[in-house]
Amino acid sequence: MSGPIPRAGVLEIPMYVPGRSRAEGHEHVVKLSSNESALGTSEKAMAAYRALEGELHRYPDGSAADLREAIAGVHRADGDALDAENIVCGEGSDEIIHLLTAAYAGPGDEVLHSAHGFVMYKLSALGVGATPVAAPEREWTPDVDALLKRVTERTRLVFLSNPNPTGTYLPRRELVRLHSCLPAYVVLAIDAAYAEYVTRDDYASGLELVGAADNVVMTRTFSKAYGLAGLRLGWCYGPAGVVDVLNRLRGPFNVTAPAQAAGIAAIEDQAFVARARQHNETWRNWLESELRRLGVTYIPSVTNFVCAGFPDKEKTAAAAIEHMMGHGILVRDMNAYGLPNHARITIGLAEETRAVVRSLETFLG
C-alpha cells in the first residue's frame, strides 16, 4: 500500500449507514427512516436561527454558556437539580460519545454495550483501538445481569441506550442496580436520546444518578423531539471530573452560533415539545394497533418509532422495506443492529403514518 498507512484496525471500522433519504422514481418521499421529528421544528427555534444570518462572520461562544444555562433552567423548572457548569454541549450526542470513548478507552481496553444498542458505541470503540463488547439483550431490552457478567478489569466504559434503538427501556430500579454493581473505575454513559418521548412513570433518564455519583454521564440530543437534527446539537450532564476532561478534548468552537441560538429557543419552547409528545403517543399507539390488525408483530415502543417484525421467509423485512420504497415511503432496515427481520418505522404526520399502513396492506395481500 502506497501513501500514509492508518493505525491498525482503522480500516476494519464499518461505515455508519444513515437512514435512506431518496427513493428512485419519487421526487418527493415520506421519510420515516431516521427517527426525525414528525412536527418539524419549533417556529421559535427557526426564528432564532434566522436572526443569526448577519453574524456568521463571528465565532460562537466556545463554552455555549447561554445554551447550557437554558438547558439547566428548563430542567430545574421540572424539578431536576441541574448545574449549568456540569453540562457539555457538542455537535450532536455523537460527538459526546466519541469524546467519552477517546477520554477513557484505548488499546487493550473494553467498551461494553448491549447487543442492539446505538451502533456508534462500537464504532467509537474501534476508532480509539479499544475492543467493543456486546452483551445479549432480553426481549430486545438491555439485560443488566448480562452486562454485569461481561464487566472485566479491562472494561472502561459501559454505554447504555435508554430508551434502546429497539424502542424498549430499562426502568429506574434496573438502572440503579446496574450502576451500583459497576466498579468505580468504569464510566456508565446513559444515552437518553429519546427521553422526551417517554411517558412511563418508572422511567429515569439518568439525571438523578449523575448527581449522586462520580462515574455516571447522561447524554441527550436536540435531533429528535426538538427537531434540530440538521444542526447537529447534543449535550451531556456529568460529574465535575468528567466534564473537565471532555472540555479539554472537545474543539474550541464545536457548536455553531446558529445551533446555540436555535437550541436555546427550542428547549424553552416546551409547549412545542408537549405537542410533539402527544402527537407521537397518539400515532404510535394507532400504528401499533394497525400492525396488530394486520398480523404484523412488533416490539412495543416508548419512543417515536416502532420496530415491525417480518419473520416470514417470503414476506421478509427486506421485501417489506422495498415494497414501501416503491410507494415512496422510506423506513429503516435494522441489519446494523442485528435485527434483520425488523423494519424500523418512524412516527410521522397523520397521513404519513396512514400511508405506511396502506402500503403494508398491499404488501401482505
In this predicted model, what pLDDT tens digit does every residue of 88-133 receive, in sequence order? 999 999 999 999 999 999 999 999 999 999 999 999 999 999 999 9
pLDDT digits (tens, 9 = 90+) for 319-337: 999 999 999 999 999 999 9
Residues 257 and 141 in one domain: yes
**Does residue 6 lie in a domain region?**
no
**The amino acid at 239:** P
Domain end: 235, 268, 301, which one? 268
Least confident window among 4-8, 61-65, 288-292: 4-8
Q: Quote the DSSP letter at residue 302.
A: S
| Pair (69, 197) in one structural domain | yes
Give the model's pLDDT for residue 1. Answer: 52
pLDDT score of 76 more than 90: no
- If you average pLDDT over residues 64-87, what whole number do you get? 91
Report the C-alpha gap between 275 and 333 in whole angstroms: 28
Cis status of the peptide bond prior to 300, with omega within 30 of 0: no
Question: Quick one: 294 and 158 in the same domain?
Answer: no
Task: Go through the chain and tell me how many residues it has.
Answer: 365
Mean pLDDT of 38-53: 97
Residue 110 is placed in which grid cell? Answer: 473494553
Together in a domain, 301 and 253: no
Among 42-51, 151-160, 280-289, 307-316, which stretch is predicted with the lowest mean pLDDT? 307-316
Kindly report, residue by residue over 243-276, the tens digit of the pLDDT.
999 999 999 999 999 999 999 999 999 999 999 9
Q: Which residue has the higher pLDDT, 1 or 267?
A: 267
Q: What angle do CA 69, 118, 275 make, to 5 degrees?
A: 50
Task: With cut-offs at 50, 70 and 90, classify the pLDDT of residue 2.
Answer: confident
Joined together, the cell numbers standing for residue 122 give 462500537
Q: Which of 324, 333, 329 is nearest to 352 (CA)?
A: 329
Integer-rounded Cα radius of gyration of the chain: 21
Same domain, residue pair 93 and 147: yes
pLDDT on residue 28: 85
| Mean pLDDT, range 201-214, rounded to an integer | 94
Distances (CA, A) of 50 to 55, 70, 203, 250: 10, 19, 36, 26
Instruction: Give yes or no: residues 59 and 23 share one domain.
Output: no
What b/e sequence results for 92-125 when a residue is b if at least 16 CB atoms lie within 10 Å of its CB, and e otherwise? bbbbbbbbbbbbbbeeebbbbbbbbbbbbbbbbb
Distance CA 37, CA 224 (A): 5
Where do the DSSP E strands lie in the chain? 30-31, 87-90, 110-114, 131-135, 137-138, 141-142, 155-161, 187-191, 216-221, 234-237, 297-299, 305-309, 329-330, 332-333, 342-346
- Backbone φ and ψ for 149, nearest 5 degrees, come out as -65, -25
- Give φ, ψ of 158 to 5 degrees: -120, 115
State pLDDT tens for residues 138-149.
999 999 999 999
Is residue 118 domain-resident? yes
Tell me if 5 is assigned to some domain. Answer: no
- Calculate the average pLDDT of the chain: 95
72: Cα separation from own chain's centroid: 20
323 vs 30, 213, 326, 341, 361, CA distance in Å?
A: 13, 49, 5, 15, 11
CA atoms within a 13 Å half-sphere pointing along the CA-CB vector of 256: 16
Same domain for 289 and 220, yes or no, is: no
Distance from chain centroid for Cα 251: 22
Q: Over 60: is that where the pLDDT of 182 sits?
A: yes
| Rounded Cα–Cα distance for residues 122 and 134 (Å) | 9
CA distance 234 to 251: 14
Q: Is the pLDDT of residue 311 over 90?
A: no
| Helix, strand, coil percentages in the chain from 3-state DSSP, rounded to 5 | 40, 15, 40
Domain ranges, residue 224: 43-268
Instruction: Say whether 307 sits in a helix, a strand or coil.
Output: strand
What total number of domains does the chain contain? Answer: 2
Residue 1 included in any domain: no
Does residue 135 form part of some domain?
Answer: yes
Question: Which of 268, 299, 334 is the last residue in one of the domains?
Answer: 268
Do residues 289 and 259 both lie within one domain?
no
Are residues 53 and 180 both part of a single domain? yes
pLDDT number for residue 84 = 96
Residue 239 and residue 285 share a domain: no
22 band by pLDDT with thresholds 50, 70 and 90: confident
- State the pLDDT at residue 32: 97
**Res 81: pLDDT:** 79
As a whole number of angstroms, the distance between CA 45 and CA 89 comes to 17
Residues 242, 332 share a domain: no
Looking only at Cα atoms, what is the longest distance across the chain? 59
**What CATH number corresponds to the domain at position 252?**
3.40.640.10
* CA-closest candidate to residue 183, choices 159, 161, 157: 157
Query: Do 26 and 80 sit in the same domain of this protein?
Result: no
